[in-house]
Amino acid sequence: MDNNILEIKDLNVIYKTKTSILGSQKIVHAVNNVSLDIKKGEILAIAGESGCGKSTLAKAIMQLVDVQSGKIILENQNILELKKREDLKKFYQKVQIIFQNPYSSLNPKMKIGQILKEPLEINTKLSKAEIEKIIKDKITKVGLDKNCLKLYPHEFSGGQRQRIAIARSLILDPEFIIADEPVSALDVSIQAQIINLLKQLKEDENLTFLFISHDLSVIKYISDRIAIMYLGEIVEIGKTEEIFSDPKHPYTKALLSSVPELNSSKNKEKIQLKGELPSPENIPSGCKFHTRCPYVMKECNETSPKEIEFTSTHKCKCFLYN
Ligand code: SF4
Using CA positions, which residue lies closest to atom 5 of ligand 1?
318
What pLDDT is stored for residue 101 in this prediction?
A: 85
What pLDDT is stored for residue 188 in this prediction?
A: 87
In whole angstroms, what is the distance from residue 58 CA to residue 229 CA?
13
Ligand 1 contacts (CB < 6 A) are: 249-250, 287, 289-290, 293, 295-297, 300, 305, 318-320
What pLDDT is stored for residue 2 in this prediction?
A: 63
Report the residue among 319, 321, 322 best suited for mutation to probe ligand 1: largest number of ligand atoms under 8 A from its CB: 319
CA of 251 to the centre of ligand 1 (A): 9
Using CA positions, which residue lies closest to atom 3 of ligand 1?
318
Q: Which atom of ligand 1 lies nearest, measured to the CA of 288?
A: 4
In whole angstroms, what is the distance from residue 72 CA to residue 61 CA?
7
Query: C-alpha distances in angstroms, 217 versus 37, 184, 230, 311?
Result: 23, 12, 18, 24
* Structural contact between residues 243 and 252, judged by C-beta atoms closer than 8 angstroms: yes
In whole angstroms, what is the distance from residue 61 CA to residue 208 CA?
14
CA of 183 to the centre of ligand 1 (A): 32
171 phi and psi, to 5 degrees? -60, -30
What pLDDT is stored for residue 245 in this prediction?
A: 94
Which positions ≥6 away from 34 have C-beta within 8 Å? 8, 10, 11, 12, 53, 57, 70, 232, 233, 234
Question: What radius of gyration do the chain's Cα atoms show?
Answer: 21
Write the single-letter amino acid at 151.
L
Count of helix runs (H) and strand runs (E) in the chain: 9, 12
CA of 290 to the centre of ligand 1 (A): 6
Q: Give burial (CB, 10 Å; 0-12/13-18/19+) of 10.
A: exposed
What pLDDT is stored for residue 180 in this prediction?
A: 94
In whole angstroms, what is the distance from residue 230 CA to residue 49 CA?
8
Which residue ranges in the chain fall short of pLDDT 50?
Answer: none
Mark out the alpha helices in 152-277 (DSSP H runs): 158-170, 188-204, 216-222, 240-245, 250-257
In whole angstroms, what is the distance from residue 38 CA to residue 234 CA?
14
